[in-house]
Structure 1
Amino acid sequence: MIKHPSWPPLTELPKNTITPAEYSYEQLKRSDIELLCELIKSWYPDISVGSGKKYIDPKFYGTKVYFPGEETKDVIVYIGRHAEEIVCALCLEVDRDALTLHSRYGVCAPQHRGTGATLFAAYIVDALAQPMGIAMAYSYVTMKSKAMQQFTERAGFEPVGILRFSDVELDERGETQHVTEAVYAKYFKEIETLQSVSEANMTPKLKRLWDVLYA
C-alpha cells in the first residue's frame, strides 16, 4: 500500500538543492491552464498530433489533473517560473496499485534549455519515491534529442527498451509521421524484494535481451 494517500505538498519534501535558485517550481493552478497550453504549443508545435495533443488541450487538465485543495487524482503537473514567467512544466502520473511513477511529459522554453531549469524533474521523482512508496519510475524519451537522453541518464534512469511507432508527431515538413522512442526506468526498491525471474520461462530472444539489460 502506498504510504501517502495523496501527492505530498512540495513543502513536505526534502529541500531542492539541485535546481538553480533563479527558478522556482509550484503545483499547477487552474488559473494557469490556458496559458500553459498555449506555451507548450509554441515550444513544441510538433506535438499537436498524436498522444501529445492532449497536453495542449485545457480539458485534459480540467478533468485529469490534481489541483491543490481538490480531490486527489493520479496525475499532477508542476510548473517552473523565472522572473514570474512560466518557463517549464512537468507532468507525472502515479499508479497506486503498482507503486510506479510515469513521467508523462517534461517541457521547457527554448531560451531556458541547458540552464539547469529542468533539473527539478530529477529532484521531484526522487523526492516523491519514498513518501509515496514508489518502486519504479519510467519515461518515454524521444530518439530525436540526444540531449534529452543524456539528461534522463544523468538523473539515474537507464534505457530498458526502444519502441518504434510508439507515437506520431509532425515532421519538419508539417506532415504526420510515426516516431521512435526509448524507454527509460529508475528503480527505488532493493532487488531482494523483487520476485525472481526464471530463465526457463524465457524464449531465446527474450533471454538475449535480458542478458543485455540485466546480466
Structure 2
Amino acid sequence: MNWDGAHAALKETKVPSGYELVQLRRADVLALVEDLRGWYPDIVVGAESCHLTPEFYYEQTMLADVAEDRPILPIVARHQGAIVAMSTFEKNASARTITCRMGAIAPAHRGPSLALLGPMLLERLGRAIGAELAYYFATLKSPHQQVLAERQRYRLVGIMPAHDRDMVRPGEVKRVYEAIYAKVLVPDDAIEVPPASALTVRTRAVWASLFGSLPA
C-alpha cells in the first residue's frame, strides 16, 4: 500500500480553474510553515502543531524530492505559482486505512470548491493506494467541516470527548470534542458485522442510531 497511485489520483481530480494540486517540495517547506501560522493560528497547540516544524516535513513526510515511501503525504494547491492550501494524508498499511491529518487554506482562497478537495482527495487517494477505510476528525467549533464531510457522503460514526487541545479563545487552551467521519472503501461482504448478542444495551442503542438495526 504505497503512494504510487497518488499522482494519478491528483491528475484525475477536478480543481477550480487556475489551481493545481501537487506534492509539497522540500524547497517550499520553510515558506509554507510561515504561511500556516497566518492561515491557521490555532495550530500552535494540539496534535497538529507538528506542521509548524520544518523537521516534521523533512523527516516524516513524502515530499516530492523523497524517494522512499513514507506514511504521510503532503499535498498543496497552487494558484499562479503560489501555495494557497495544504493537506497532509496519512496511511496505515497494516490496517489499510487513510486519514487526513490537517488541512489549511489561505483566507483569500477559501470557498466551498477548494475546501471540498480535502474529503474528496482523502477518498480518491485511499482508493488509489488500496485503503479499505477513509476517516478523519472534524472540529465542532463551527459546522463547516461537518457540512463538507456530509456533502461527500462520509458517515458520522462518533464524537470523541477531549480528543485534542485547541485554542478556544486567544490565550486560552482547552481540550475539545471532535466528530469522527468515515467512509468504507470495500464492499459489504468484506465486513464482519457483530451480532446484537455481543453488544450491551447502551452499545446497541448507539449502533442503532449510527448504523441501523443489527442481525439477531
TM-score, normalized by length of structure 1? Answer: 0.91
Aligned in 2, Cα 1:28/1:211: closer, same or farther, shift over 3 Å? same
Aligned residue for 2:102, secondary structure, equals strand
The structural deviation recorded for 1:91 is 0.5
Aligned in 2, Cα 1:23/1:189: closer, same or farther, shift over 3 Å? same
State the match for 2:23 in structure 1.
Answer: 27
State the match for 1:37 in structure 2.
Answer: 33
Q: Structure 1: which 5+ residue stretches go unaligned?
A: none
In structure 2, which of residues 53, 59, 66 is the aligned counterpart of residue 57 of structure 1? 53
Q: Deviations over 1:84-128 (max 9, x none)?
A: 111111100001111110110111111211151233324422322
State the match for 1:181 in structure 2.
Answer: 178
State the match for 1:105 in structure 2.
Answer: 102
In structure 1, which of residues 55, 76, 81 is the aligned counterpart of residue 78 of structure 2? 81
- CA-atom RMSD, angstroms? 1.7
The percent identity for this pair of structures is 28
Contact 1:8 1:131 in 2 (8 A): yes
In structure 1, which of residues 196, 199, 206 is the aligned counterpart of residue 196 of structure 2? 199
Contact 1:14 1:127 in 2 (8 A): no
Moved more, 188-197 or 122-131: 122-131
Aligned residue for 2:75, secondary structure, equals strand
Q: Structure 2: which 5+ residue stretches go unaligned?
A: none
Q: Deviations over 1:154-189 (max 9, x none)?
A: 122111111121111122231111111101001111
State the match for 2:129 in structure 1.
Answer: 132
The structural deviation recorded for 1:30 is 0.7
1:158 aligns with 2:155: yes
Contact 1:23 1:117 in 2 (8 A): no
The structural deviation recorded for 1:196 is 2.5
State the match for 2:211 in structure 1.
Answer: 214
Aligned in 2, Cα 1:12/1:158: closer, same or farther, shift over 3 Å? closer
Report the Cα distance in structure 2 between the residues aligned to 1:73 and 1:118, rounded to whole angstroms: 25
TM-score, normalized by length of structure 2? Answer: 0.91
Q: Tell me the number of residue pairs that the alignment of Structure 1 and Structure 2 aligns.
A: 211
The structural deviation recorded for 1:8 is 2.2
Report the Cα distance in structure 1 between the residues aligned to 2:129 and 2:29, rounded to whole angstroms: 26
1:118 aligns with 2:115: yes
Matching residue's letter, 1:25:
L
Q: Deviations over 1:5-60 (max 9, x none)?
A: 4342424666222x212111100111111111111111111120111211111111
Report the Cα distance in structure 1 between the residues aligned to 2:33 and 2:45, rounded to whole angstroms: 14
